[in-house]
């Protein structure tokens, strides 16, 4: 039996199904994005911590080397007082200069990696703070997604069954037109006539068609947007 009543029911079911889809919305994508972000945060923090350990090791090696050189320089300086010739004095001085340069290099390198370490420590601290809020946000979204899915899956199943029952009652050609209009008109295929106009697109409905819609005879649709038309009852 083709009746506009069936199509009205079908539209109601489809609107509710659409609402469920919108309710879930992009939550699954958002949760996925957050999980990815969390993962890369954890990786970055791990890498930074490994690098900081390397730097600490490097700094203590450089400290040790610097001390060794300082001791050598001091010994050579002491020897300066004991030399007998200018030639010996010059040789010792050159060696001292050479060691001082080496010491400078070590100190410069140490300064550079200390700066790197400070930057990394600061960044890591910030990342760890962000990770905390990211993780709690993620868990919140995940649990709300899970409860939404659980809530809606039963409802969705019932609506799908209801849809099948309605569809079985309507001819294939009407259903295929309905489906076409539904997807072309953003989920609204059945609309009421309001103030002599199609409430879907706003165009005027010709008087004869309006009379047919009002009588509820046959299936009428808007000449402009092709949506099915019905006359609103008081309960609507
Ligand atoms: Zn229309």
Convert the pLDDT of each residue in 2-45 to its tens digit. 689 999 999 999 999 999 888 887 777 877 888 888 899 899 99
Q: Across the strands, what pairs with 156? A: none
Distance 77 CA to ligand 1 centre (A): 101
Instruction: Over range 52-61, report the average pLDDT.
Output: 97
Distance 228 CA to ligand 1 centre (A): 8
Distance 227 CA to ligand 1 centre (A): 6
Q: Closest Cα partner for 46 from 118, 114, 111, 123?
A: 123
In Å, how far from its chain's centre is CA 232? 43
Q: How far is CA 137 from CA 77, 133, 200, in A?
A: 64, 6, 40
Phi, psi at 131, each rounded to 5°: -60, -40
Distance 53 CA to ligand 1 centre (A): 70
Distance 192 CA to ligand 1 centre (A): 10
The two tokens of residue 191 are 């609309």
Distance 160 CA to ligand 1 centre (A): 27
Give pTM, 2 decimals.
Answer: 0.57
Distance 203 CA to ligand 1 centre (A): 6
Contact 223, 196 (CB under 8 A): no
Q: What ranges do the domains of the chain cover?
A: 23-168, 172-230
Is residue 151 very low, low, confident or very high in pLDDT (cuts 50, 70, 90)? Answer: confident
pLDDT tens digits for range 65-74: 999 999 999 9
Q: The CATH number of 23-168 is which of 3.40.50.2300, 1.10.287.1490, 1.10.10.10, 3.40.50.300?
A: 1.10.287.1490
């Amino acid at each position: 039996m083709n009746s506009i009543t069936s199509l009205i029911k079908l539209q109601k079911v489809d609107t509710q199904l659409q609402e469920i889809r919108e309710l879930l919305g992009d939550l699954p994508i958002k949760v996925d994005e957050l999980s990815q972000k969390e993962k890369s945060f954890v990786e970055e923090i791990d890498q930074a911590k490994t690098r900081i350990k390397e730097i600490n090791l490097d700094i203590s090696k450089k400290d040790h080397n610097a001390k060794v050189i300082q001791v050598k320089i001091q010994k050579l300086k002491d020897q300066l007082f004991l030399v007998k010739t200018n030639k010996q004095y010059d040789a010792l001085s050159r060696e001292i200069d050479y060691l001082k340069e080496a010491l400078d290099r070590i100190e410069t390198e140490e300064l550079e990696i200390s700066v790197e370490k400070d930057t990394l420590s600061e960044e890591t601290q910030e990342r760890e703070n962000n990770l905390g809020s990211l993780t709690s946000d993620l868990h919140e979204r995940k649990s709300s997604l899970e409860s939404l899915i659980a809530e809606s899956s039963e409802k969705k199943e019932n609506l799908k069954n209801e849809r099948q029952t309605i569809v079985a009652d309507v001819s294939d050609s009407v259903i295929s037109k309905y489906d076409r209009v539904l997807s072309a008109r953003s989920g609204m295929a059945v609309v009421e006539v309001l103030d002599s106009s199609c409430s879907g697109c706003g165009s005027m409905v010709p008087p004869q068609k309006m009379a047919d819609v009002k009588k509820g005879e046959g299936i009428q649709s808007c000449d402009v947007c092709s949506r099915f038309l019905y006359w609103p009852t008081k309960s609507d």
